[in-house]
Amino acid sequence: MGVDSGLPDFRGNEGFWEAYPPYAKLGVSFIGMANPDNFETDPAFAWGFYGHRTNLYRDTVPHKGFHILKNWIESKNADYFVVTSNVDGQFQKAGFDEERILEVHGSIHWLQCLKPCSNEIWGNFEAYHVDSNSMRVDRIPVCPNCDEISRPNILMFGDCSWISDRKDYQQLRYRQFRQANIGKRIVVIELGAGKAIPTIRYISEQLGMEDKVSVIRINPRESEIKQPHISIGSASLEALMYIDSLL
């Protein structure tokens, strides 16, 4: 969904290296960067990646497609829930209700202790200066409780210390939403859900097995889905604008 706001997706190492040429030079993969071990061994380097992304996501303005979705919800007075594997906070920024968002991999806008010394998470209000060659930060954010290194409250690869409490609360609200809508007609609008980490694709496919649930899969490269569900092979914004023009 963020691609049409100018954010990179990663699409495996090639895509990741295209978005982050310094990591290509260093020969570091996405899995190598999105890893809690880096925070132990080289926190300035680990924070370079997440500090850069924090700045990028803070500066990004959500594209018109977010507002088209919101307008459909508001004009039809529809119940809704956003389920995303993005960690960029763009749905909140576009004005979607914080109580109706499930961020399955957490959010970059929240931090936790690396150890962790407690289950506390706190808002990410740090400033990051990232050297564009070395991809290192000059100052490492610390935990307010123990003064040790902090990290984003994001599920990384091989991650045993992610504090999932915030996601668990979101999941509880999502379950309540599902419960409240049992037997009703539901449309799942799946936007740019990739195959690399197919969490979101699985969620829509599972929902699609239920009665009265229709899935619209929008993706310029991998939009295939079994009938009777609908496949639209184009970018999110283009597809949303097109559907909007028909309504």
Contacts with ligand NAD by CB under 6 A lie at: 2-4, 7, 9-11, 85-88, 105, 191-192, 194-197, 219-222, 235-236
Give the span between the Cα atoms of 60 and 53, in whole angstroms: 10
Among 61, 78, 117, 172, binds Zn ion (CB under 5 A): 117
Give the shortest CB-218-to-Zn ion separation in angstroms.
Answer: 41
Q: Which stretch binds Zn ion (CB under 5 A): 115-123, 153-161, 164-172, 205-213?
A: 115-123
Please report whether residue 61 would count as binding Zn ion according to CB under 5 A.
Answer: no
Q: Is 145 in the site for Zn ion (CB under 5 A)?
A: yes
Nearest distance from C-beta of residue 4 to ligand NAD, angstroms: 5
| Closer residue to ligand NAD in complex, CB, 137/193 | 193
CB of 142 to ligand NAD, least distance (A): 24
243 binds Zn ion (CB under 5 A): no
Residue 106 beta carbon to ligand NAD: minimum distance, rounded to whole angstroms: 10
151 binds, among ligand NAD, Zn ion, none (CB under 5 to 8 A by kind): none
Q: By the criterion CB under 5 A, which residues form the site for Zn ion?
A: 113, 117, 143, 145-146
